[in-house]
Amino acid sequence: MKVAGTVALVTGGASGLGAATVRELLAAGGKAVIVDRPQSDGAALAAELGAHAAFAAADVTSDAEVEAAVQQAVERFGAIHINVNCAGTGAAMKTISKGGPMPLEIFAKVIEINLIGTFNVLRLCAMQMSKNTPNPDGERGVIVNTASVAAFDGQIGQAPYSASKGGVVAMTLPIARDLASVGIRVCTIAPGTFDTPMLALMPDPQRQALAAQIPFPSRLGKPPEFAALARHIVENAMLNGETIRLDGALRMPPR
């Protein structure tokens, strides 16, 4: 699917991987609705990018708020052809510690945002995409989800995060098969250690230590590199039902 002339809905689109993806798709001639929390920089980013971008405040776990964002995209730009899901959260805590077992609500919250939130958004976007006129290849839409190498190499204290991202990986193929009949492709990107606003809060020595673990290139990933892969997935019609690691050959150690 050519990006030019398409409309994307990008969650977590106000910063980091999501913002880079919004910029990449607009640079390729697309339009985008930035979906993020009300307190995010989404409105400012949309204003900066101009008429081809819009902001929709929404919690990805809310049926009503995501449905409203989908309708806003359709009313503003006429359709949705691309959905990139970057919204997510994490929690670092061992299953048990001196303070007792991990509070169940911590585990549940990460699952709710990263896994259930991703499915909530993609199911509503897919419904809207199914109404599109197919292109010459029969495509009506493309969905790109975000997992993590933690889905495969989860570290100590990452049980909630790894479980949530593992779920995103696991549902990629069955959803691609579900949506094949209506011409919608589904892929997932599993990034390694990327230079995002969350990592920017770390002290520089800790950031350098993370970068040193990556075989090559021995640096943190750059959000535009994630965005470039998301665009390629959109443009390459044979990519479907696959999870792609984007990690510089990183395999995470236990801690």
Which of the residues 77, 107, 161, 226 is marked catalytic? 161
Distance, in Å, from the CA atom of 90 to the CA atom of 76, rounded to the nearest integer, reads: 32
The SS3 call for residue 121 is helix
Cβ–Cβ < 8 Å for 226, 157: no
Q: From residue 225, give the alpha-carbon distance in Å to each of 23, 191, 230, 231.
A: 12, 10, 9, 10
Provide the pairing of β-strand 100-101 with 96-97: antiparallel
Q: Is the peptide bond before 217 cis (omega within 30 degrees of 0)?
A: yes
Beta strands in 62-210 (DSSP E): 82-85, 96-97, 100-101, 141-146, 184-191
| Residue 186 is a catalytic residue | no
Instruction: State the Cα–Cα distance between residues 227 and 81, nearest whole angstrom.
Output: 16
CA distance 21 to 12: 10
Please, what's the b/e burial string for 16-40 (b: 16 or more CB within 10 A of its CB; e: otherwise)? bbbbbbbbbbbebebbbbbbbeeeb
Q: Give the catalytic positions in this structure.
A: 161
